[in-house]
Amino acid sequence: MEERGILFVLSGPSGVGKGTVRKALFEGDINLQYSISATTRKPREGEKDGVDYFFKSKQEFETMIEQNKLLEYAQFVGNYYGTPIDYVKETLDHGKDVLLEIEVQGAMQVRKAFPEAVLIFLIPPSLEELKNRIVGRGTETEDIVKDRLDTAKIEIEMMNAYDYVVVNDQVEKACERIQAIVQAEHFRRDRVEASYKKLLEVE
Ligand code: 5GP
């Protein structure tokens, strides 16, 4: 009998490097499926529709909300971001693990909708470094930088809603820590026990 996959959520404060860690994770040899998000944000240079995001108009996104096509969604710095639900459900049903890389409001919604999801909080080595990273990106206006910093302070207080905390001091190390979490989750007594119980019911 096929086991259901595990839903992993990688979240954390703005500018901590979630996107970078997630990309590095999928460049390596990892047994996870990435759920591509939908957004109303305009594509940045080099970003491709259906690869980085499904880029949507506000109206298209709001239709997805109305039709319950999103597992979670949030407004972040003036744009909508959300996780299409069908891909996640189908992939988990096929026994494959899924990873979402989303901001914290969305992660809290996943916690409610999928209490069995494993939530990983990525944190910067220090708040100061967080600031440098956000400002240092240099692609955003001052207002957006301030918005992102204010949001980040609140987000850090949210750490206690998570199952694991991973420090992003080096991308490679952060990836190793996440891989260790993914592996360990498959050995949890409750998961192993549940699969044995199912097996015994069948025979
Ligand atoms: P960016 O515009 O820099 O690509 O992403 C901005 C923020 O939105 C990041 O923190 C990213 O993790 C988050 N994000 C990306 N996709 C989703 C999603 O589907 N849902 C939610 N709630 N946040 C998302």
Evaluate: CB of 61 within 6 angstroms of ligand 1.
no
Evaluate: CB of 106 within 6 angstroms of ligand 1.
yes
Which value, in Å, is the radius of gyration of the alpha carbons in the chain?
18
Q: Quick one: how far is CA 27 from the chain centroid?
A: 16
| Mean of pLDDT values over 155-169 | 87
Among 9-18, 23-32, 98-107, 154-163, the range scoring the smallest mean pLDDT is 154-163
Cα–Cα dist 99/118, whole Å: 10
- Per-residue pLDDT of 67-79, as tens digits, reads 999 999 999 999 9
Please say whether the beta carbons of 119 and 105 come within 8 A: no
Evaluate: CB of 168 within 6 angstroms of ligand 1.
no
**Is residue 134 predicted with pLDDT exceeding 80?**
no
Please say whether the beta carbons of 123 and 165 come within 8 A: yes
Among 124-138, 162-176, 180-194, the range scoring the smallest mean pLDDT is 124-138
CATH class of 7-35+96-200: alpha beta
**Is residue 202 predicted with pLDDT exceeding 80?**
no
**Is residue 145 predicted with pLDDT exceeding 90?**
no
Residue nearest atom 23 in ligand 1 by C-alpha distance: 102
What are the domain boundaries of the chain? Answer: 7-35+96-200
Residue nearest atom 12 in ligand 1 by C-alpha distance: 102
